[in-house]
Amino acid sequence: MTEIYPLLALLLLLNIFVGLTRVLRGPTAADRMLAAEMFSTSVVVIVLLLSVVTDRPTLVDVALVFALLSALAVVTFVSRAWHALETPTGNDRQEEDRP
């Protein structure tokens, strides 16, 4: 069963490169953020696979820190995007001030 772990790690590495191209070429900020989330999820799984293969349980803690940082990044992005949608731009304020 452990023979499949390196193959899974290579597939996840390929997934990271696909996500990286989406981060670089994404048409919107939301597309880029979702690709970055996929990127971070793949990294967490690769670290967990390395933990099993190398029999180092401390790598599970590293994967947990990566997962928490990834979740924090998504929450920060969503809160900033939500705030940007609720805040009117300078042009909208000028139109409201006109009689």
Residue pLDDT tens, the chain, 99 long: 678 888 898 899 999 888 888 888 878 888 888 888 898 899 999 999 999 889 999 999 999 999 999 999 888 888 888 777 777 765 555 555 555
Q: The whole model's pTM is what?
A: 0.74
Question: Residues with Cβ < 8 Å from 50, sequence gap 6 or more?
Answer: 9, 56, 59
Asked if 16 and 39 count as a contact pair (C-beta separation under 8 A), the reply is yes
Q: What is the pLDDT of residue 90?
A: 53
Amino acid at 73: A
Residue 67, both tokens: 């997962």
DSSP code for 88 = P
Counted residue by residue, the chain has a size of 99
Asked if 45 and 19 count as a contact pair (C-beta separation under 8 A), the reply is no
